[in-house]
Amino acid sequence: MFTAIATLAIFVATLMLIMLRPYGITESAAAIIGAVLMLLFRSIDFNDMILVTSRQWNVYGFFLGLMTISALADRAGVFEWLAYRAGRWAGGSAMRLYLAVFAIGTLITTFQSNDATALILTPIVFALVTRLNLAVLPFMFACTFIADTASFMLPVSNPINILILD
């Protein structure tokens, strides 16, 4: 009974650390603290942790590669170029820009993950619609909606799909 209560308490405390970030604790540090506490309180077995972690290396490698590709594409200006092209194509029409956001979001999600799409597309679209004095909320909704919806196109577009396929 103590282990179950300790496990739940550690889980809740870890989530609180992640959400509140007291003393500048990062999400990764909070997760590591939670994992160490789980080991110390024997909520998990060290060998089981190693086994589960070792089975997921292809997923870790995929995300590392995905982050690298995203960073390189961002540095190369790919996403700004796409936003510029979308703005030009829209020609002042909010509806056309909205459709362009969906098209770009679908394209990015096809080759990236839905999380990467939301993180890449949202700030670019926000800057673009703010500059054009358009209502921001519909475009922000479009960014998240398309990132989630388009992630069903390929197994690699959604992290959950990768874990299930593995």
User: pLDDT (tens digit, 9 = 90+) per residue, 63-84?
Assistant: 788 778 878 887 898 877 877 8
pLDDT at residue 7 tops 60: yes
The CA distance from 138 to 135, in Å, is: 7
pLDDT band with cut points at 50, 70 and 90 for residue 30: very high
Higher pLDDT, 122 or 163: 122
131 HSE (CA, 13 A, CB side): 11
Contact indicator for 37, 49 with CB cutoff of 8 Å: no
H/E element, 38: helix 27-40
Closest CA to 102 of 128, 133, 67, 139: 139
User: CB–CB of 75/68 below 8 Å?
Assistant: no
Q: Which amino acid appears at position 146 of this protein?
A: I
Please, what is the Cα angle at 73 between 72 and 75, to 5 degrees? 65
19: buried, middle or exposed (CB in 10 Å: 19+, 13-18, 0-12)? exposed
Asked if 124 and 161 count as a contact pair (C-beta separation under 8 A), the reply is no
Mean pLDDT of 50-71: 79
The alpha carbon of 117 is separated from its chain's Cα centroid by a whole number of angstroms, namely: 8
Distance CA 37, CA 49 (A): 13
